[in-house]
Amino acid sequence: MNSIYLDNAASAPILDEVIEVINRSLIEHNGNPSSTHRYGRTARAAIEQARKSVAQHLHASIGEIFFTSCGTEANNTVLNCAVDQLGVKRLIISSIEHPSVRNTAFFLAEYRGIELIELPVSEFGRIDLVELEDHLARSDQKTLVSIMHANNEIGTIQPIAEIGHLCQKYNALYHTDAVQTIGHLPVDVSASYISFLSASGHKFHGPKGVGFLYVNSDNIIEPYIRGGSQERNVRAGTENVAGIVGMAHALSYCLDNLPEKAQYVKELRKYLIDKMEEKFPQTELVSYPTTDDCLFTITNFHFPQSPKSDLMLMNLDIGGISASGGSACSSGAEKPSHVIEAINRYDEDGKCVRFSLSFLNTRDEIDQLLVVLEKCV
């Protein structure tokens, strides 16, 4: 039985050449980057080279990139530091943010008395810019807007340039969780008003356990994790040198010839959607059909109730297909996804399944998925 991996939004398989870069780094960079001797300096130089590369890809300054342990840490850092250090009294998020934003916002509302506004979304997961502007105009309390670039369960792309423009107009800070888009969509932080941006290595074929945070130079934050003076006093803790170097390499790999890679996955996505429509007309695509509005790596289908729908993910797994019922954090846990609920597609008996793609997948794999699905619906 072939094993077919269609859960790239949960974690995109690490590339062989990234593993090679990491292995080399583990051998060559075995000093502590904070040490001043030659081993330390070599490790430090590798980190700074990685920072330069990441910054260039985002059109950021080198001093605006801070390495973290993951996207979750980057998101937590922004929300907590904005409240504790930047005088933020009000948070505006969408109702489909990742739990690392959503649960942090709930915590800050409950324990720090922060006003929290959760913007509803359309049936495909888009926020309403007019509604956002109404909220921004209504109060002059210092506000952080945290709205993701693309959603991890349904792929919806939010209009981050327009959101940034509104935040600038009303003097609010803007954070975007770009964990699903960095490495897949070109992002130029200098072209839009973005105060903070979060990313994670394992979503673009890099290693797990490493991410980064972009902090626009207008905003100075103190550490969320305190200790030594690593990451220019913004994030304490000995750096994951090999992870950082591997992540930077993975990002360069993904962004090299990006239009060709993206076109390939877009065609694969269209093939999957067309075939699903043809073979399983009872299913409904809950993601936007077009890749102007939806990240090309993500599809999410609603399967109506059937005697087998309860065990669908398990049966797919038995058939060799790795897919997900929601984000990785909630897959496995049989509770309704807040994203599927927010777009009004939750039904107790049916099932939403996310198939997320990468340039490593093939049409042949989609054909095999369709064969396995025959036995699962």
Ramachandran quadrant class, 208 (left: phi over 0; alpha: psi -120 to 50; beta: rest): beta
Q: Take residue 332 and report the two structure tokens written for it.
A: 């496995």
Between CA 152 and CA 159, with CA 154 as vertex, the angle to 5 degrees is: 80
- The contact pattern for ligand PLP, residues 317-336, with x = CB under 6 A and - = no contact, is ----------xx--------
CB 229 within 8 A of CB 217: no
Nearest CA among 173, 153, 144 for reference residue 97? 153
148 binds ligand PLP (CB under 6 A): yes
Verify binding: residue 143, ligand PLP, rule CB under 6 A: no
Residue whose CB is less far from ligand PLP, 29 or 98: 98
Any idea which residues carry the catalytic annotation?
A: 329
| Cβ-based nearer residue to ligand PLP, 70 or 147 | 70
CB atoms within 10 A of CB 171: 10
- At position 86, the amino acid (one-letter code) is L
The one-letter code for the residue type at 374 is E
Binder of ligand PLP out of 211, 243, 246, 319 (CB under 6 A): 211
CB-side exposure of 25: number of CA atoms within 13 Å? 27
The minimum distance between CB 160 and ligand PLP, in angstroms, equals 13
Phi, psi of 92 (to 5 degrees): -120, 120
Amino acid, res. 20: E
Q: Which is nearer to ligand PLP, 179 or 272 (CB)?
A: 179
Shortest distance, position 269 Cβ to ligand PLP, whole Å:
18
For residues 221-250, which are near ligand PLP according to CB under 6 A? none
Are 4 and 320 a contacting pair, CB within 8 Å?
A: yes
356 touches ligand PLP (CB under 6 A): no
- Nearest-angstrom CA–CA distance, 249 and 303: 38
Which ranges constitute the DSSP H helices of 117-226?
A: 129-138, 160-169
Task: Give the C-alpha separation, 9 to 298, whole Å.
Answer: 7
Interface with ligand PLP, residue 185, by CB under 6 A: no
By C-beta, is 44 or 102 nearer to ligand PLP? 102
Other CB atoms within 10 A of residue 20 CB: 12
CB nearer to ligand PLP: give 53 or 156: 156
> By CB under 6 A, is residue 297 in contact with ligand PLP?
no
Q: Are strands 173-177 and 143-146 parallel, antiparallel or unpaired?
A: parallel
53 lies in the binding site for ligand PLP (CB under 6 A)? no
Residue 72 lies near ligand PLP (rule: CB under 6 A): yes
Query: Which of 6, 8, 22, 71 is in the footprint of ligand PLP by CB under 6 A?
Result: 71
Nearer to ligand PLP among residue 44 and residue 73 (C-beta): 73
**Using the 8-state DSSP alphabet, how is residue 326 labeled?**
S
Residue 5 CB, nearest approach to ligand PLP (Å): 15
Least separation in angstroms between residue 152's CB and ligand PLP is 3
Residue 154 amino acid letter: I
Instruction: Count how many Cα atoms sit within 13 Å of the Cα of residue 29 in the half-sphere of its side chain.
Output: 27
Q: How far apart are CA 198 and CA 212, in angstroms?
A: 6
Measured CA to CA, the distance from residue 208 to residue 243 in angstroms comes to 8
Site residues (CB under 6 A) for ligand PLP, limited to 267-286: none
Least distance (Å) between residue 2 CB and ligand PLP:
25
Q: How far is the CB of 247 from ligand PLP (least distance, A)?
A: 11
- Closest residue to ligand PLP in the complex (CB): 71
Task: Pick one of 64, 118, 177, 365: the residue that binds ligand PLP (CB under 6 A).
Answer: 177
Residue 196 has φ and ψ, to the nearest 5°, of -145, 145
For the CB of residue 234, give the shortest distance to ligand PLP in the complex, in Å: 18
Stretch that binds ligand PLP, among 120-128, 158-166, 173-181, 353-361 (CB under 6 A): 173-181
Total site size for ligand PLP, rule CB under 6 A: 15
Q: Which of 77, 100, 324, 356 binds ligand PLP (CB under 6 A)?
A: 100
- Beta carbon nearer to ligand PLP, 65 or 70: 70
Which residues lie near ligand PLP (CB under 6 A)? 70-72, 75, 98, 100, 148, 152, 177, 179-180, 200, 211, 327-328
